[in-house]
Amino acid sequence: MNPTRLAFLRSTLCRHFRKDPLSARPFEGLRFIDVGCGGGILSEPLARMGATVTGIDAIEKNIKIARLHANLDPTTSTIEYCCTTAEKLVEEQRKFDAVIALEVIEHVADAAEFCKSLSALTAHEGATVVSTINRSMRSYATAIVAAEYLLQWLPKGTHQWSSFLTPEELTMILKRAGVDVKEMAGFVYNPLTGRWSLSDDISVNFIAYGTKEK
């Protein structure tokens, strides 16, 4: 799914920051933060596209793995990895041109407070991007029953269906936090090709791009 996420990020953020999407390093000079970065699977390609990247995760083991892998490549060794939370960076008054939190919000205790932190980290006229899983019967069948129990892509219990947000709920929560959602897309998996693609179908996995309101 990562190449599909990156395609959405390149398209929306190049448009937002008026950058050339065909450039090898379109995000040169921009500060991005990858909230819930895990092992750096998103942080690294963003750095290769020119962004000054900060990756944060609450789990120290993830940060250690991310640092080890990033140091293997000079273009990614500049990534600032920190074992911390978005809330703590807000206290430090950090600001970023783009704040990205993919597949994280469904795991936090308070989605509204989390979005307030994402908004607070977003610089004036910056962008906020959030991806998650829709709370639908289809998502229960695919993201939980299929992914965790049948295909075993994820450990059992990774997701709680009740913690998923509908697109309307996410839009409202972000709006209240000061982020105006401008574009949304779905991720659809093709079992025949084994590939993910962007789609208008937001019934399961979806991503939202918004701008910081004044």
pTM for the whole structure:
0.91
Q: Which of 113-117, 146-150, 171-175 has the lowest mean pLDDT?
A: 146-150
Confidence band of 189 (pLDDT split at 50, 70, 90): confident
Residue 200, C-beta contacts closer than 8 angstroms, at least 6 positions apart: 185, 186
What's the residue count for the chain? 214
pLDDT at 191: 81
Cβ(67)–Cβ(95) under 8 Å?
no
- The pLDDT tens digits for 105-114 are 999 999 999 9
What DSSP string runs through 134-161?
--SHHHIIIIIIIIIIIS-SS-TTS--G
- The pLDDT tens digits for 133-156 are 998 867 656 655 555 555 566 566
- The pLDDT tens digits for 5-51 are 999 999 999 999 999 999 999 999 999 999 999 999 999 999 999 99
Whether the pLDDT of residue 127 is over 80: the answer is yes
Question: Which residue range(s) make up the domain with 54?
Answer: 1-212
Report the distance separating Cα 45 and Cα 47, nearest Å: 5
Report the distance separating Cα 59 and Cα 154, nearest Å: 18
Report the distance separating Cα 18 and Cα 163, nearest Å: 35
pLDDT at 164: 84
Run of H or E including 205: strand 205-212
Report the distance separating Cα 25 and Cα 53, nearest Å: 13
pLDDT at 151: 54
pLDDT at 213: 77
pLDDT at 145: 52
* CATH code (residue 38): 3.40.50.150
Q: Which of 98-102, 142-146, 180-184, 190-194 has the lowest mean pLDDT?
A: 142-146
Tell me which residue of 169, 166, 195, 171 sits closest to 183, measured CA to CA.
Answer: 171
Tell me which residue of 115, 114, 118, 77 sits closest to 96, measured CA to CA.
Answer: 118
Using DSSP, state whether 214 is helix, strand or coil: coil
